[in-house]
Amino acid sequence: MPKPKYARVIVKVSGEALLKGASTIDQKTLEQVADDLVASQKAGTSIGVVVGGGNIFRGVTVSKQGLPRPTGDTMGMLATVMNSLALEVAINRAGGEARAMSAIAMPQVCETYDRSRAERHMEQGRIVLLGGGTANPFFTTDTTAVLRACELSCEAVLKATNVDGVYSADPKKDPKAKRYDRLTHADAIANDLKVMDATAFALARENRMPIIVFSMAEPGSIGAALSGKGRSTLVAAE
Ligand code: UDP
């Protein structure tokens, strides 16, 4: 594996990326993500992972069906803990050492998120799974990823998606959509490019946190993004 450019990062894996036609979690995709994370950690990057929950519950969807939004969001946050538990097992099986933590206390299930504990796990070579979102409704796991990256002194957020970077328009709908290799936070705002939701992006911009957007479709894509070798878009302060 090529030498990583970053010493410590948060990898954001969307819940939807784990779905791949399965009803909740596609086992093969889960194993691929775990293998990739373990290889990247062994190559020298300290890693925290924020997993989404969109493959199981999204607050907005649930609330459209009649439940209050905070209840739907709580269900969504619990879904992120479920995904974190699955990824914890997959990472341990892949030869790494993982610790699931939840921002919502559930001591029978996993450790409660605590900044210094999470940092200690990372220093000791463990991959930390940061479940339970921010523990507050009306936020997303993109916001959680940027927040944890700022808190845990990370150098970047790696946003694993289904596309190989940021485009001027949806590349699935517009064949003329332009792909960017590099952007500033200000460019993304000026051109209304959807890198992350507005809250997450505002936090990243204010804290000059770089965001690397890449596709996790291929095995090895997390390592490639970390070493700057794969196709990705870097959104940085300048
Ligand atoms: N969520 C929340 N607060 C948070 C993080 C997540 O309420 O701090 C809820 C929200 O309902 C969200 C769901 O958890 O829709 C799953 O997260 P997200 O939609 O970000 O997952 P992804 O799209 O990455 O799968």
pTM of the shown model: 0.96
Question: Is residue 33 a known part of a binding site?
Answer: no
Say how many Å lie between the CA of residue 123 and the centre of ligand 1: 27
The rounded percent of the chain whose pLDDT value lies above 90 is 86
Query: Probe ligand 1: pick from 62, 77, 146, 147, max atoms within 8 Å of CB?
Result: 77
* CATH number of this structure's domain 8-230, picked from the four choices 3.90.226.10, 3.40.1160.10, 3.40.50.2020, 3.40.190.10: 3.40.1160.10
Instruction: Please give the Cα distance from 75 to 174 (Å, whole number).
Output: 34
Reference 131, options 81, 183, 188, 195; nearest CA is 81
- Mean pLDDT (whole number) for 225-229: 89
> Given a cut of 80, is residue 1 above it in pLDDT?
no
Q: Give kind and range of the element (H or E) at residue 167.
A: strand 166-167
Say how many Å lie between the CA of residue 112 and the centre of ligand 1: 18
Q: What is the mean pLDDT of the chain?
A: 95
pLDDT in tens, 179-210: 999 999 999 998 889 889 999 999 999 999 99
Say how many Å lie between the CA of residue 136 and the centre of ligand 1: 10
Ligand 1 atom, smallest distance to 70 CA: 7
pLDDT in tens, 95-145: 999 999 999 999 999 999 999 999 999 999 999 999 999 999 999 999 999
Question: Is residue 187 a known part of a binding site?
Answer: no
Query: Probe ligand 1: pick from 80, 87, 136, max atoms within 8 Å of CB?
Result: 80
The dihedrals phi and psi of 145, each to the nearest 5 degrees, come to -60, -45
The answer, yes or no, to whether any atom of ligand 1 lies below 6 A from the CB of 199, is no
In eight-state DSSP terms, residue 9 is E
Question: Is residue 13 a known part of a binding site?
Answer: yes
Say how many Å lie between the CA of residue 17 and the centre of ligand 1: 14
| Structure tokens, 183 | 């952007």
